[in-house]
Structure 1
Amino acid sequence: MLRLLTTLCLSLALCGASARAASIEAVTLAQVDAIFARWALDSHVPGMAYGVVADGRLVHFGGLGVQDIEGRKPVDRRTLFRIASMSKAFTALAILKLRDEGRLSLDRPAETYVPELRGWTYPTRDARRLTVRDLLNHSAGFVDDNPWGDRQQSLPEADFTAMLRAGVPFSRVPGSAMEYSNFGYATLGRIVSNVSGKRYQDYIGDALLRPLGMASTSYDIAKSPLERRAIGYRWEDDRWVREPDLADGAFGAMGGMETSAEDYVRWISFLLSAWPARDDADTGPVARATVRSVVEGSNFATGTMRAAAIGGAPCRQAVAYAMGWRVIDDCDLGRVVTHTGGYPGYGSVVMLMPDKGVALFAFANRTYAAPYVPAFRAALALQSAGAIADRVVPVSAGLSEGYAAVARIWAAGDVLAAQDRLAMNFLLDRDAAHWKADLARLRTAVGACDTSAPPTPLTAMGARFQWTCEHGRIDGSILLAPTPRPSIQELKLAVAQP
């Protein structure tokens, strides 16, 4: 197991969470390694790098195969891969940083910042002008352009300007649906350039890469050290065929970045450090609240079955696209913030689990070989082993007081024993006499209960709890009202079922 020599433990709260990182290390990771190794073999991948990141450090790394099939140099943490559409996350955060600085508005028409868009013909007379937010969320009305867009990487800036001025046909009116658009993210790159006064690639370097210490990450592969580069291949006619290198150009904002596992861990660690919200000093290149907002603004959510190849029980996921990320509500892992990258010669994936403080990533040097399935399977394996539980939500002072009031209510068999802690709606929703009868029935059913068990907070205002009793258990929940003094607006108590 390889570890970074330096870590990004950005707050005392996160440093304290390093016990969770240790729990991942304690789990046998042979299963994770086997998952990636099998996929690499079956997918005809020449080389691959993958890792598990927890609480600011790389707790597990795997390098499979070779950087190139001629030199046969093994993949390591410093091997440089192009990460294709995972570059979009940098573009989106750059836009949000400029928004924070008051230099642009997400809800203004994009033509405000790209004058070439002003003469466009929209699909209907009543179509609204597409906004910066539409571009971020892939709802600008452009056609899904993965095959075409990837081959525009090297387009000269002057040619892109001409393309913008001429306009493009719309697939639908802006704001009506999510449809993935590389062209849209290239346009965001032009907005970054126009608003910042710097070439997009230079702005990303100055605003994000250098502050995070990502010295090996760039867009111009002609300037990266050849001895560290993973050469891109496609699998054709039962052999690897070298893909032509795509030079840096106007579409870099949608997929041109090249990075290493060593560098990318710094990016992931910075993003994960935005969770949870806290009072610590905000020292990153972008405010933590802004980083957390990349999962907001999700639109046109869909329900889909998790891919059967991933394994596990059948799971219907809710999926939406936010700002440079897909946001998934998974029935096993909870919130997953993810993106894949597919590109001539390369495939990649990143999975952030911000409520756990854990992420997985993988890079491969074969055309469109995004290792999404093995990454998700590895995450499920870690989850099943109990290594990546959600961060514990602290018990707020208000919940502590409210929960103590619930214990008094139970002991007395009467909600009036904590009348001073009841919100004004409580006895209007169910009067004291009915509550007394309910409490008597429950106490008869389970006997005396140990009410000292701590609650499990869901938020600062709500919690679940379970009490062990003489002949049964009580399942309960408490919800506080939005009042200056903590008060209970809702209390639920029931005998636990087998």
Structure 2
Amino acid sequence: MENVIKELVDAGQLAGAAALAWRNGEVVHAAAVGRRNLANELPVERDTIFRIASMTKPVTTVAALMLLDEGRFALDEPIEICAPELAHLRVLRDPEGPLDATDEARRSITFRDLLTHRSGLTYGEFHRGPVGRACAETLGAQIDNPLTPDEWIARVATLPLIDQPGAGFHYGISTDLLGLLIARLEGESLGEVLARRVFAPLGMRDTDFVVSREKRDRRAALCGFDDEGRLTTLTATPGRHALDERPEDMPFESGGQGLWSTLDDYLVFARLLLPDPEVPALLRGETLAMMTSNQLTPEQRAAARMFGQSIFAAGHGYGMGVAVVLEPEKADPMRCRGGVGTIGWPGAYGGWWQADPNDRSVLIFLSDNMVELWQMARGIGLDAWSAIASFHAIATS
């Protein structure tokens, strides 16, 4: 495991990474290799705090499902119960077409739609047409955003959907909106909701939307590649979606991408989803089973695309916040691969995890390497992602 990471560090493709394999109640291996900061040569350690990007989504999903268990909302209830500004939305006739060519939404977005990414909301960078530019210009930064939650929701209401609610899987801002809605229901910030409902019960002491001052020396610095493919430190991700120094008083908290965490914190969260009797049960058994079971129709799985590539047709489905292995022999390890029912979901900065209930194992890989889309097209930075596949092969052998 160490050698896989060290080869990439030595080749200048990765600043550093931390990885962990847990099976049947114990950590069977953990590795921390390379540097968490290129500028001052600080090493990656087991307690290094990484941005986990979309690994945030399952955490927000669990908090939302806790409210579902308490009867605070129903799955098929319109989200207008707590966001009246999102009533009467419009839907593009062509996802890549002009913004004024729309029809009325046939129905409201429901909480189920948000939980399964079938709301018709998307990420701007996934579309080259007018809606992509409109999302970027209207909503601004995806993570460290100066808008208030209410301002952000109001701006979402001005955007057309790219599909009818419930019709298809479109990866995007659904979980961000879900997080802000449960915060409204609770009368707290999303960070306060997650701290009280998830982090405190599970003992996740190093997970939050902002790293406290006394822990900042443990952060992994954001890294990326310059135009020549050389590894460099970033002060912000492309588009300034995430800043290296997030203001502590920034009100917007991204339930889809915004958390920082560590190997051991995310391990206990992943064990929650197995489930593990040694970890406090935050959800009813039937609710956890629903979250970790495929919710998409065969047609929705086949049609789901990300950057023009199929997401789920080859071996995976999607539950609520997680991919689910349906056909192990066809499953791509970059989502997750294990026995039937294995779950996981990666993050854009090189984070990855999976939990396999069949052999009761959890695998986690954390790094903070940002690769832009145009760089991927030129083959820059792809070697860092290969480390995850190699780690998976070693840890499951």
Q: State the TM-score, normalized to the length of structure 1.
A: 0.61
Which letter does structure 2 place at the counterpart of 1:170? L
1:29-51 deviation line (CA, Å, top 9, x unaligned): xxx43334445555721121111
SS in 1 for 2:350: strand
Match for residue 63 of structure 1? 32
* Contact map agreement 2:122 2:174 (CA 8 A) in 1: no
Match for residue 269 of structure 2? 267
Match for residue 462 of structure 1? none
SS in 2 for 1:130: coil
Match for residue 159 of structure 1? 151
Whether 2:363 is the aligned partner of 1:360: answer yes
Whether 2:186 is the aligned partner of 1:196: answer yes
| TM superposition shift of 1:146 | 5.2
Structure 2 unaligned runs (5+)?
92-101, 127-135, 237-242, 305-312, 330-336, 372-380
User: Partners of 2:395 and 2:203 in 1: how far apart?
Assistant: 29
More strand per residue: 1
1:436-475 deviation line (CA, Å, top 9, x unaligned): xxxxxxxxxxxxxxxxxxxxxxxxxxxxxxxxxxxxxxxx
User: Partners of 1:105 and 1:79 in 2: how far apart?
Assistant: 38
Change in 2 beyond 3 A, CA 1:187/1:51: same
* Contact map agreement 1:55 1:273 (CA 8 A) in 2: no
User: Partners of 1:265 and 1:150 in 2: how far apart?
Assistant: 32
Same amino acid, percent of matched pairs: 22
User: Partners of 2:199 and 2:65 in 1: how far apart?
Assistant: 15
* Contact map agreement 2:38 2:233 (CA 8 A) in 1: no
Which letter does structure 2 place at the counterpart of 1:127? R
User: Partners of 1:289 and 1:153 in 2: how far apart?
Assistant: 32
Whether 2:215 is the aligned partner of 1:217: answer no
User: Partners of 1:185 and 1:132 in 2: how far apart?
Assistant: 10
User: Partners of 2:193 and 2:208 in 1: how far apart?
Assistant: 11
SS in 2 for 1:225: helix
SS in 2 for 1:302: helix
Change in 2 beyond 3 A, CA 1:47/1:160: same
Match for residue 375 of structure 2? none
Match for residue 94 of structure 2? none
Match for residue 95 of structure 2? none
Superposition CA RMSD, Å = 2.7
SS in 2 for 1:209: helix
Match for residue 87 of structure 2? 118
Match for residue 301 of structure 2? 301
Match for residue 286 of structure 1? 283
Which letter does structure 2 place at the counterpart of 1:302? A
Q: Where do 1:89-128 residues align within 5 Å?
A: 89-122=58-91, 123-125=102-104, 127-128=106-107
| TM superposition shift of 1:168 | 1.2
Match for residue 307 of structure 1? none
Q: Where do 1:63-462 residues align within 5 Å?
A: 63-122=32-91, 123-125=102-104, 127-145=106-124, 148=136, 151-155=141-145, 156-157=147-148, 158-164=150-156, 166-181=157-172, 183-221=173-211, 223=213, 225-236=215-226, 237=228, 238-244=230-236, 245=243, 247=246, 249-274=251-276, 283-299=280-296, 300-302=300-302, 317-328=314-325, 329-331=327-329, 333-335=338-340, 336-342=342-348, 346-368=349-371, 373-383=386-396, 385=397
* Contact map agreement 1:219 1:257 (CA 8 A) in 2: yes
Q: State the TM-score, normalized to the length of structure 2.
A: 0.76
* Contact map agreement 2:118 2:166 (CA 8 A) in 1: yes
Count of residue pairs brought into register by the alignment:
332
Change in 2 beyond 3 A, CA 1:41/1:214: same
Which letter does structure 2 place at the counterpart of 1:132? F
User: Partners of 2:317 and 2:195 in 1: how far apart?
Assistant: 29
User: Partners of 2:60 and 2:261 in 1: how far apart?
Assistant: 15
Change in 2 beyond 3 A, CA 1:198/1:56: farther
Which letter does structure 1 place at the counterpart of 2:317? A
1:390-431 deviation line (CA, Å, top 9, x unaligned): xxxxxxxxxxxxxxxxxxxxxxxxxxxxxxxxxxxxxxxxxx
* Contact map agreement 1:139 1:179 (CA 8 A) in 2: yes
* Contact map agreement 1:333 1:380 (CA 8 A) in 2: no
User: Partners of 2:202 and 2:278 in 1: how far apart?
Assistant: 16
Match for residue 417 of structure 1? none
| TM superposition shift of 1:373 | 4.2
* Contact map agreement 1:303 1:317 (CA 8 A) in 2: no
Match for residue 97 of structure 2? none
1:321-377 deviation line (CA, Å, top 9, x unaligned): 2211111232183233111111xxx32111111222112111112114796543344
